Amino acid sequence: MNNFTPLYDRILVRPEEQSSERASGLLRTEAEDKRTIFGTVVNLGKGRPMDHIDNITGDVQYYPMHVWAGDHVWFGKFSASEIILNNEKFYLVKEGELYGYESKD
């Protein structure tokens, strides 16, 4: 699993058990619990590539990601791909599909 790095704006998330109330005070209904996945960011790509290339170096530039490894995220069950790495379940989701996040700080 340590060798797996998502491409572009994709995020690798380890699912966690969800409670109805988070530290932030956000409450969720039972219906939302079935459709919403909560987890911790394990690894992420470089970001979505910009339309232009740096004229001096020829390097592709990327839009920065808004989440980091260790952040807690929410996303829709059907907006992610479930993958198995080393017999452990993870989700691969694009950053734009996230509902929100709590930073690890």
Provide the pLDDT for residue 54. 67
- Residues 47 and 94: beta-carbon distance below 8 Å: no
In the chain, domain spans: 10-102
Rounded Cα–Cα distance for residues 98 and 38 (Å): 10
pLDDT along the chain (105 residues), means of 10: 82 82 61 77 90 73 89 91 91 92 80
Tokens of 35: 């459709």
Identify the sign of the CA torsion 60, 97, 92, 39: positive
Rounded Cα–Cα distance for residues 80 and 78 (Å): 6
Provide the pLDDT for residue 90. 94
Q: Check residue 105 and report its DSSP letter.
A: -
Q: Taking the model in full, what pTM does it have?
A: 0.77
Tokens of 26: 């956000």
Rounded Cα–Cα distance for residues 1 and 13 (Å): 12
Q: Enumerate residues 6+ apart whose C-beta is below 8 A from 63.
A: 9, 47, 48, 49, 50
Q: Considering the domain 10-102, what is its CATH architecture?
A: Roll (2.30)
